[in-house]
Protein backbone atom coordinates (compact mmCIF):
# COMPACT_ATOMS: atom_id res chain seq x y z
CA UNK A 1 0.00 0.00 0.00
CA UNK A 2 1.51 3.30 -1.13
CA UNK A 3 1.05 6.18 1.28
CA UNK A 4 0.34 9.67 -0.09
CA UNK A 5 0.33 12.76 2.12
CA UNK A 6 -1.87 15.69 1.09
CA UNK A 7 -1.62 19.18 2.61
CA UNK A 8 -4.68 21.19 1.54
CA UNK A 9 -6.75 23.64 3.62
CA UNK A 10 -9.71 23.71 1.22
CA UNK A 11 -11.86 20.95 2.74
CA UNK A 12 -13.88 20.25 -0.41
CA UNK A 13 -10.81 20.12 -2.64
CA UNK A 14 -8.98 17.97 -0.12
CA UNK A 15 -11.82 15.43 -0.06
CA UNK A 16 -12.03 15.46 -3.85
CA UNK A 17 -8.30 14.80 -4.28
CA UNK A 18 -8.36 12.08 -1.63
CA UNK A 19 -11.26 10.30 -3.32
CA UNK A 20 -9.53 10.57 -6.71
CA UNK A 21 -6.28 9.09 -5.48
CA UNK A 22 -7.44 6.45 -2.99
CA UNK A 23 -7.61 2.90 -4.27
CA UNK A 24 -6.65 -0.69 -3.62
CA UNK A 25 -2.95 0.14 -3.72
CA UNK A 26 -2.97 3.77 -2.48
CA UNK A 27 -4.07 5.56 0.67
CA UNK A 28 -4.18 9.31 1.30
CA UNK A 29 -3.53 11.05 4.62
CA UNK A 30 -4.94 14.60 4.66
CA UNK A 31 -3.77 17.61 6.70
CA UNK A 32 -5.16 21.14 6.54
CA UNK A 33 -2.40 23.15 8.24
CA UNK A 34 1.39 23.41 8.40
CA UNK A 35 1.31 22.50 12.11
CA UNK A 36 -0.66 19.32 11.45
CA UNK A 37 1.59 18.49 8.51
CA UNK A 38 4.75 18.76 10.60
CA UNK A 39 3.31 16.45 13.25
CA UNK A 40 2.25 13.84 10.72
CA UNK A 41 5.46 13.92 8.70
CA UNK A 42 7.55 13.57 11.86
CA UNK A 43 6.07 10.18 12.66
CA UNK A 44 5.11 8.68 9.28
CA UNK A 45 7.08 8.00 6.11
CA UNK A 46 5.24 8.55 2.83
CA UNK A 47 5.82 7.59 -0.80
CA UNK A 48 4.65 10.98 -2.12
CA UNK A 49 3.82 14.40 -0.69
CA UNK A 50 1.33 16.83 -2.25
CA UNK A 51 1.67 20.29 -0.69
CA UNK A 52 -0.54 23.33 -1.16
CA UNK A 53 1.59 26.48 -1.02
CA UNK A 54 -0.80 28.94 0.62
CA UNK A 55 -1.92 27.78 4.06
CA UNK A 56 -3.52 29.80 6.90
CA UNK A 57 -0.55 29.19 9.21
CA UNK A 58 2.32 29.31 6.74
CA UNK A 59 3.69 28.31 3.37
CA UNK A 60 3.95 24.86 1.87
CA UNK A 61 7.02 26.16 0.05
CA UNK A 62 8.72 26.81 3.39
CA UNK A 63 7.76 23.31 4.51
CA UNK A 64 9.27 21.94 1.30
CA UNK A 65 12.53 23.77 1.96
CA UNK A 66 12.62 22.49 5.54
CA UNK A 67 12.05 18.90 4.44
CA UNK A 68 14.79 19.05 1.82
CA UNK A 69 17.23 20.66 4.29
CA UNK A 70 16.56 17.74 6.65
CA UNK A 71 17.49 15.27 3.93
CA UNK A 72 13.93 14.17 3.10
CA UNK A 73 14.03 13.00 -0.53
CA UNK A 74 10.37 11.93 -0.85
CA UNK A 75 8.87 13.10 -4.18
CA UNK A 76 6.87 16.32 -3.70
CA UNK A 77 4.19 17.87 -5.91
CA UNK A 78 3.24 21.50 -5.20
CA UNK A 79 -0.28 22.84 -5.60
CA UNK A 80 -0.86 26.57 -5.90
CA UNK A 81 -3.22 29.21 -7.18
CA UNK A 82 -0.23 31.25 -8.35
CA UNK A 83 0.34 30.83 -12.08
CA UNK A 84 3.36 33.06 -12.47
CA UNK A 85 6.36 31.40 -14.09
CA UNK A 86 8.61 32.69 -11.30
CA UNK A 87 6.49 30.87 -8.70
CA UNK A 88 6.98 27.61 -10.58
CA UNK A 89 10.71 28.20 -10.90
CA UNK A 90 10.96 29.00 -7.19
CA UNK A 91 9.15 25.80 -6.28
CA UNK A 92 11.27 23.59 -8.52
CA UNK A 93 14.50 25.20 -7.35
CA UNK A 94 13.44 24.59 -3.74
CA UNK A 95 13.29 20.87 -4.48
CA UNK A 96 9.79 20.17 -5.80
CA UNK A 97 9.48 17.31 -8.29
CA UNK A 98 6.37 18.71 -9.98
CA UNK A 99 4.12 21.76 -9.83
CA UNK A 100 0.39 21.99 -10.57
CA UNK A 101 -1.54 25.25 -10.82
CA UNK A 102 -5.16 25.54 -9.62
CA UNK A 103 -7.68 24.96 -11.01
CA UNK A 104 -6.64 21.59 -12.38
CA UNK A 105 -8.20 18.39 -13.65
CA UNK A 106 -8.22 15.51 -11.18
CA UNK A 107 -7.35 13.25 -14.11
CA UNK A 108 -4.20 15.31 -14.73
CA UNK A 109 -3.34 15.20 -11.04
CA UNK A 110 -3.76 11.42 -10.98
CA UNK A 111 -1.46 11.09 -13.99
CA UNK A 112 1.19 13.29 -12.39
CA UNK A 113 0.95 11.35 -9.12
CA UNK A 114 1.28 7.99 -10.87
CA UNK A 115 4.30 9.27 -12.81
CA UNK A 116 6.06 10.22 -9.59
CA UNK A 117 5.21 6.91 -7.89
CA UNK A 118 6.43 4.91 -10.92
CA UNK A 119 9.66 6.87 -10.99
CA UNK A 120 10.20 6.16 -7.30
CA UNK A 121 9.41 2.44 -7.63
CA UNK A 122 11.88 1.79 -10.47
CA UNK A 123 14.80 3.54 -8.85
CA UNK A 124 17.49 1.01 -7.88
CA UNK A 125 18.43 0.75 -4.24
CA UNK A 126 21.35 2.96 -3.33
CA UNK A 127 21.57 1.84 0.27
CA UNK A 128 24.94 1.01 1.77
CA UNK A 129 24.98 -0.87 5.06
CA UNK A 130 28.20 -0.73 7.08
CA UNK A 131 28.21 -1.96 10.67
CA UNK A 132 25.58 0.06 12.56
CA UNK A 133 25.11 2.45 9.63
CA UNK A 134 22.68 2.69 6.76
CA UNK A 135 23.55 5.29 4.11
CA UNK A 136 21.32 6.08 1.13
CA UNK A 137 22.98 8.99 -0.64
CA UNK A 138 20.45 9.35 -3.47
CA UNK A 139 17.48 9.55 -1.08
CA UNK A 140 19.53 11.42 1.53
CA UNK A 141 18.68 8.96 4.31
CA UNK A 142 21.32 8.32 6.96
CA UNK A 143 20.89 6.15 10.07
CA UNK A 144 22.97 4.78 12.91
CA UNK A 145 21.51 1.91 14.93
CA UNK A 146 18.22 2.56 13.16
CA UNK A 147 18.06 6.20 14.29
CA UNK A 148 18.07 9.02 11.71
CA UNK A 149 21.14 11.24 11.41
CA UNK A 150 20.81 14.66 9.77
CA UNK A 151 23.76 15.62 7.58
CA UNK A 152 24.43 18.84 5.70
CA UNK A 153 25.08 18.68 1.96
CA UNK A 154 28.81 19.18 2.56
CA UNK A 155 28.89 16.40 5.16
CA UNK A 156 27.04 14.11 2.76
CA UNK A 157 29.55 14.78 -0.02
CA UNK A 158 32.50 14.11 2.26
CA UNK A 159 30.96 10.94 3.67
CA UNK A 160 30.22 9.60 0.20
CA UNK A 161 33.78 10.06 -1.02
CA UNK A 162 35.15 8.34 2.08
CA UNK A 163 32.63 5.48 2.03
CA UNK A 164 33.13 4.89 -1.71
CA UNK A 165 36.86 4.58 -0.98
CA UNK A 166 36.59 2.83 2.38
CA UNK A 167 39.74 1.10 3.46
CA UNK A 168 41.89 3.53 1.45
CA UNK A 169 43.46 6.81 2.54
CA UNK A 170 42.04 9.74 0.60
CA UNK A 171 44.42 12.76 0.41
CA UNK A 172 43.19 16.06 1.81
CA UNK A 173 43.59 17.80 -1.54
CA UNK A 174 41.41 15.15 -3.22
CA UNK A 175 38.70 15.52 -0.61
CA UNK A 176 38.66 19.31 -0.92
CA UNK A 177 38.44 19.04 -4.71
CA UNK A 178 35.61 16.46 -4.58
CA UNK A 179 33.55 18.09 -1.83
CA UNK A 180 33.87 21.78 -2.70
CA UNK A 181 33.39 21.36 -6.43
CA UNK A 182 32.10 24.91 -6.92
CA UNK A 183 35.43 26.50 -6.23
CA UNK A 184 37.97 24.56 -4.20
CA UNK A 185 40.54 27.33 -4.60
CA UNK A 186 38.40 29.56 -2.38
CA UNK A 187 37.94 27.04 0.46
CA UNK A 188 39.44 28.01 3.80
CA UNK A 189 42.31 25.80 4.87
CA UNK A 190 40.51 24.42 7.93
CA UNK A 191 37.14 23.81 6.20
CA UNK A 192 37.88 20.12 5.70
CA UNK A 193 38.98 19.63 9.31
CA UNK A 194 35.85 21.37 10.57
CA UNK A 195 33.61 19.21 8.38
CA UNK A 196 35.36 16.04 9.53
CA UNK A 197 34.89 17.09 13.16
CA UNK A 198 31.17 17.70 12.64
CA UNK A 199 30.74 14.40 10.80
CA UNK A 200 32.46 12.50 13.59
CA UNK A 201 30.25 14.20 16.18
CA UNK A 202 27.18 12.89 14.34
CA UNK A 203 28.39 9.38 13.49
CA UNK A 204 30.99 8.25 16.02
CA UNK A 205 30.09 7.04 19.51
CA UNK A 206 33.25 8.72 20.80
CA UNK A 207 34.33 11.44 18.35
CA UNK A 208 37.63 11.84 20.21
CA UNK A 209 38.42 8.18 19.45
CA UNK A 210 36.85 7.55 16.05
CA UNK A 211 36.31 3.97 14.94
CA UNK A 212 35.26 4.73 11.39
CA UNK A 213 36.32 8.14 10.13
CA UNK A 214 40.03 7.97 10.85
CA UNK A 215 42.88 10.39 10.25
CA UNK A 216 45.78 9.16 8.16
CA UNK A 217 48.52 11.46 9.36
CA UNK A 218 50.42 13.26 6.66
CA UNK A 219 47.92 12.17 4.01
CA UNK A 220 44.23 12.77 4.77
CA UNK A 221 41.35 10.62 6.00
CA UNK A 222 39.87 7.16 5.54
CA UNK A 223 36.67 5.33 6.34
CA UNK A 224 37.88 2.17 8.05
CA UNK A 225 36.90 -0.99 6.15
CA UNK A 226 36.97 -3.20 9.26
CA UNK A 227 36.85 -1.06 12.41
Residues 57 and 31 in one domain: yes
If asked whether residues 115 and 8 sit together in one domain, one would say yes
Considering the domain architecture, whether residues 55 and 139 belong to the same structural domain is answered as no
Domains of the chain: total: 2
Domain containing 58: what range? 2-122
CB 3 within 8 A of CB 45: yes
Which of these, 111, 58, 104, lies nearest to 81 by C-alpha position? 104
Q: What is the mean pLDDT of residues 97-105?
A: 87
Does pLDDT of 30 surpass 90?
yes
Same domain, 165 and 63: no
Tell me if 222 sits within 8 A of 211, measured CB to CB.
Answer: no
Left (φ > 0), alpha (ψ -120 to 50) or beta: where does 180 sit? beta
Q: Is residue 117 domain-shared with residue 153, that is, in the same domain?
A: no
Based on the fold, state whether residues 72 and 169 are members of the same structural domain: no
**CATH assignment of the domain containing 140:** 1.10.10.10
Q: At what angle do helices 153-164 and 172-179 cross, to 10 degrees?
A: 130
**Domain end among 122, 150, 183:** 122
Q: Indicate if the pLDDT at residue 7 is higher than 70.
A: yes
Total length of the chain = 227
Last residue of a domain, one of 122, 157, 177: 122
* 81 in the same domain as 49: yes
Same domain, residue pair 154 and 196: yes
**pLDDT at position 25:** 84
- Quote the pLDDT of residue 184: 45
Interval 115-161: pLDDT, tens: 888 876 655 556 788 889 999 888 788 999 989 999 998 999 999 99
* pLDDT tens digit sequence for 148-206: 999 998 999 999 999 988 888 999 988 988 888 654 445 666 889 999 999 999 999 99
Question: What is the CA angle 25-31-33, rounded to 5?
Answer: 160
Same domain, 118 and 11: yes
| Boundary (domain end) residue, out of 122, 146, 161 | 122
Which has the higher per-residue pLDDT, 63 or 225? 63
CATH code: domain of residue 53: 3.40.50.2300
Q: What is the pLDDT of residue 208?
A: 94
Give me the percent of the chain exceeding a pLDDT of 90: 46
Q: What is the pLDDT of residue 126?
A: 64
Are 133 and 78 within one domain? Answer: no
- Who's near 51: CB < 8 A, 6+ residues apart? 7, 37, 60, 61, 63, 64, 76, 77, 78, 79
Tell me what the pLDDT averaged over the chain comes to: 86
Same domain, 9 and 116: yes
**Other Cβ atoms within 10 Å of 25 Cβ, number:** 8
Same domain, yes or no, for 11 and 110? yes
Amino acid sequence: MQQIFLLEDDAALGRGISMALCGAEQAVVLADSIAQARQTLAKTQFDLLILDINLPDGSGLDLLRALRSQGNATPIILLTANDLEMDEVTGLEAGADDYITKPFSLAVLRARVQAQLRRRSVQPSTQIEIGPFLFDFDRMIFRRDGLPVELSKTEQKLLRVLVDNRGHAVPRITLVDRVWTDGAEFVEENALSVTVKRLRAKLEKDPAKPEYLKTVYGIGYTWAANP
